[in-house]
Chains A and B, each alone.
Chain A
Amino acid sequence: EAEVAQSPRYKITEKSQAVAFWCDPISGHATLYWYRQILGQGPELLVQFQDESVVDDSQLPKDRFSAERLKGVDSTLKIQPAELGDSAMYLCASSKGLPGGTDTQYFGPGTRLTVL
């Protein structure tokens, strides 16, 4: 069964450093999502792409976060500089259909970020 791949699985960094996370969605999935999940909370959407275009990044803290999906396939989420409050699980998900549709979202294993 095809899966969403993410790397690294774990990342420890010091505050003010830059970090980057990578996601490879299921082949053929047009829509890609980045979520942040703080311990004890549900995932919160940061940004969603349809192919290479950003559909919604209203919840992305743009002063320090950036996301791209240049060729409409894999995607990178970057934080620069990292802050203590950024410690969380960063989840990538993909779905076959268009954003906002009823297609199932499939999640990757996540990257657990710890900022010291």
Chain B
Amino acid sequence: RKEVEQDPGPFNVPEGATVAFNCTYSNSASQSFFWYRQDCRKEPKLLMSVYSSGNEDGRFTAQLNRASQYISLLIRDSKLSDSATYLCVVNGGGADGLTFGKGTHLIIQP
């Protein structure tokens, strides 16, 4: 069974701090990787894709380590509005579709 593992948290972090999450995946043939954000009782929304060379979008940095089969997300200067569940998502390719982790719950405290 293809799995994506995340620490469910919650991560309680003071506003302005830096926080990082990791995620591991079991399918070595996985082709693409994403972080989705999900607010309480809302649908998941794409936060960013994760590229082999690493990528940055404002305060968010995503990295991929194919050898160790893990993905990371770093949030700098955290805001109260960053409070959400962050879902690690792996695309196995073909008909496998996306496999979601259970999510990491982040709470930014004032």
Contact = CB atoms under 8 A, between A and B. Distances in A.
Interface of A is mostly: loop
Nearest to B94: A100
Interface in A32-48: 33, 40-45, 48
A21 to B, nearest CB: 14
A56 B100 contact: no
B97 A43 contact: no
A100 B97 CA distance: 5
A33 B91 CA distance: 14
B95 A56 contact: yes
Interface stretch (A67-75, A77-85, A102-110): A102-110
A114 B46 CA distance: 27
A99 B95 contact: yes
Interface of B is mostly: loop
B95 A43 contact: no
Interface residues of B, number: 26
Contact of B43 (A48, A56, A91, A100): A91
B102 A102 contact: no
A109 B42 contact: yes
B97 A56 contact: yes
Nearest to A110: B43
Contact of B98 (A55, A105, A108, A109): A105
Interface of B: 4, 8, 31-32, 34, 41-46, 49, 87, 91-103
Interface of A: 33, 40-45, 48, 55-56, 91, 99-100, 102, 104-110, 112
